[in-house]
Amino acid sequence: MFHFSFDIIFSELSYVSSIFAILIRIFLQRVYYVKLTSGEIETFANFLKKFGIIPLPIADLKTISTFADADSDPEGYSWIWLDKKLKHFQFEKLRNLFPNVNNLDEKVSIYLLDFVALKLTSLGSKLIFWHENYPDRKIIFISFSFDDLSIPKLPDNCLRLVIPIPGILGFFPFVFKVAFRIFLKIRSLLLFKPKFQEELRSEPHFDWGKYEHAYVTHSGLKYGSLYEKGLYYSEKDSFFEPKNLVHFDYSGYNSPSEVLPWFKLTPAKKLGVKDVVLISLKLVFVLNFLSIKLSSLPLKIQIWILALKFQAHRRDLGHFKELKRAYIDYDIICPKSLILAFESCNILTIGVQERYISAYYKSTSVILDQYLISSNESRLIMESSRNYLFEKSFSVGQYRTDEFFRKFPNISNKDSVGIYNKRILVLGFHCDMTWVESQVNPLLNWQAQEHFLDEIMALASEFKDSLFTLRYKMIDWLELPFFSPIKHRLKEFHNIKISKEYGISFYSYYLVKNSDIVIGKHTSLMDEAISIGKPTLVHDYSHNIKSVICDTFDYFGSRIICRNFDSFKDRFRLLLEDDIDLKREIMEISTKLYGDLSDGKVKERIHSTIKSI
């Protein structure tokens, strides 16, 4: 048997393509994959493991110098690559497909940036991390998707092989399915059957033509089990009454109430054959699909997808003759195709910045007419960034900070301070639920979670007169067998409590409000805590990551960011001792970044600003 000094890394494997991986494994020692796309993931992974084919063990790497390449793209690799590829694109020829959309070149570029940046953060970064630990190994990266030609940054020693079919042996069944679907659509047209999109109208009893305002939701009206989304609602002002807002859903969520106007947007795949063919033919010539430059093909395909989605959204918006405004939930995630469709139909888009830290990201983007931003500082950053395109902006504050000022209902305080001198809220990341996903995730893997809990237990062991309350987005991972020993150890600490209250909306804000110090992983809640001057420390490293958020934004070099356990423990001690200098530094950062906008009146400002537009 021959072995070569190569690491074979597949972007993804299905049942069909895994045959190819198994054959390669016969000749080569190291064969990995990043993602599985067939069946039960763990069952499939265990099958491949028998052949020595395993998930790329990012979690086991010795060191990752910065997590930023998998998150915020601080070096701007995505824009650098995209600018080179778009040099010869003639966006003006696309105007017939996107009527009444201004600055089309900028907006399509921003749309493409989302696609390219995702390729960097989800795939390219993992290969960069691997090369950092094994610089002498050659990487052969194998993909079955044209999309992976758009990874903007790969290690120098990486050879990319793209086999442009969705699976080796699965190619012909794929073609047959597509041809069969086209046949069914043509047949339905010839028989004059109703359009498919009519089947998607979930609430036909509403008079869609009367609504003037829309709320574009993301994944329903709740953020997991943490809180309800009520930013654009008011019990006192009829302008923001839920029944007066038509709710647009693009995430496949059903209406939570029969009386709530809820409209499911039509997916592009439900367009008629005539529309698909006409759009496709136009783009074949406009974008020169016949060019032999394969590296640009994924971008052309993405523009084709954008055009199809845009057309589907325009069709939907035709039901709403009086619609004037759309309020956007989760600014950076709302589909750009929908934003462009709103503009095309002369509907004003208004959004509120969801997370403060996104202002510093080069991997996320926003297109809006009116943007309500969390602070003057982030407003200045985004106004000068290519990633954020808006006509007007207003500094209003971080809207969830209002929760620090409201009175919570009578809550049985399971996290009572008792005999302890200080109440410490510890914010942690959740983690993946399968060992397969954990291994390829640089941040949310089991080893990182274990490392974090070990260090919190070390603090609790030394500072016995403080009560540490652990709070997570979700806590189901704690029941995994891997965490059984840690769970047993945690029970030995009388001054460590795990918050398991997820039935009360915004309960995490109640915990922040009633804590003396907040420590832990960087989250949006951490920024909100800093904005009200809460003594705060960011645990910005893991068992193998030297920097998580610091290379994206280091809070002007503030001691809020802790890069190792020694600094974490020493600064925590200073906060326990009410060190004047450190507390003053935190207050200065709070004032510089967030001003005086965390005053309990953010939602009030947002509503008054919206009404004044």
Q: Which amino acid is at 257?
A: S
Q: What is the pLDDT of residues 239-258, one digit of tens each?
A: 999 999 999 999 999 999 99
Checking if the pLDDT of 199 tops 50, the result is no
DSSP H or E stretch at residue 414: none
- Residue 283 in domain: no
Q: What is the DSSP string of 166-219?
A: SSSTTHHHHHHHHHHHHHHHHHHHHTTPPPGGGGG-S-TTS-GGG--EEEEESS
- Per-residue pLDDT band at 237 (split at 50, 70, 90): very high
Give the sheet arrangement for strand 348-352, strand by strand. Answer: 262-264, 245-249, 213-217, 325-328, 348-352, 366-373, 388-395
Stated length of the chain: 613
For residue 180, name the pLDDT band (cuts at 50, 70, 90). low
How far are the Cα atoms of 109, 285, 296, 303 from residue 290, in angstroms, in the given order?
21, 8, 11, 15
CA distance 405 to 250: 33
Q: Render pLDDT for 61-103 as a digit per residue (tens, 0 to 9).
A: 999 999 999 999 999 999 999 999 998 888 888 999 999 999 9
The rounded distance, in Å, linking the Cα atoms of 270 and 185 is: 10
- Are 351 and 372 in contact, with CB atoms under 8 Å apart? yes
Helix (H, G, I), strand (E, B) or coil at 564: coil
Q: What pLDDT score was predicted for residue 329?
A: 96
Domain boundary among 123, 142, 163: 163
Residue 286 has pLDDT above 90, yes or no: no
Residue 151 lies in a domain: yes
- Tokens standing for 83? 């600018």
Q: Which residue has the tokens 């920097």?
A: 547
pLDDT at 414: 52
Give me the phi and psi of 214, to 5 degrees please.
-125, 145
- C-alpha–C-alpha distance, residues 396 and 377, integer Å: 12
The pLDDT tens digits for 27-44 are 888 999 999 998 899 999
Nearest to 363 by CA among 121, 117, 125, 120: 117
Cβ–Cβ under 8 Å, residues 283 and 303: yes
Give the confidence band of 171 by pLDDT, cuts at 50, 70, 90.
Answer: very low
Sign of CA dihedral 86, 89, 90, 95: negative
Instruction: For residue range 323-369, list pLDDT tens digits in order.
Output: 999 999 999 999 999 999 999 999 999 999 999 999 999 999 999 99
116: closest CA among 442, 439, 365, 366? 365
Judge whether 607 lies within some domain: no
Q: How far apart are CA 45 and CA 38, in angstroms?
A: 10
Task: Give tens-digit pLDDT for 466-515.
Answer: 999 999 999 999 999 999 999 999 999 999 999 999 999 999 999 999 99
Q: Let me know if residue 424 belongs to a domain.
A: yes
In a domain, 496, yes or no: yes
Task: Please tell me the predicted confidence (pLDDT) of residue 471.
Answer: 98
Stretch among 109-113, 118-122, 200-204, 477-481 having the lowest mean pLDDT: 200-204
For the chain, what is the domain count? 2
Q: What pLDDT score does 125 carry?
A: 98
- The range of the structural domain enclosing residue 512 comes to 408-596
Lateral strand order in the sheet of 466-472: 496-498, 466-472, 422-428, 517-520, 536-539, 561-562
- Residue 586 placed within a domain: yes
Q: What is the pLDDT of residue 45?
A: 97
pLDDT attached to residue 567: 98
Give the pLDDT confidence score for residue 88 in this predicted structure.
82
Distance CA 280, CA 303 (A): 10
In a domain, 472, yes or no: yes
Pick the last residue of a domain from 135, 163, 191.
Answer: 163
**In this model, does residue 59 exceed pLDDT 50?**
yes
Residue 341: closest CA among 370, 358, 320: 320
SS3 506: coil
- How many of the other CB atoms lie within 10 Å of CB of 364? 23
pLDDT at position 201, please?
45
The pLDDT of residue 272 is 81
Domain boundary, last residue among 104, 128, 163: 163
pTM of the model: 0.91
Is 185 inside a domain boundary? no
Beta strand pairing status for 213-217 and 325-328? parallel
pLDDT, the chain, mean: 91
pLDDT in tens, 579-597: 999 999 999 999 999 999 9
Which CATH number characterizes residue 564's domain?
Answer: 3.40.50.2000
Q: Which residue has the higher pLDDT, 38 or 111?
A: 111
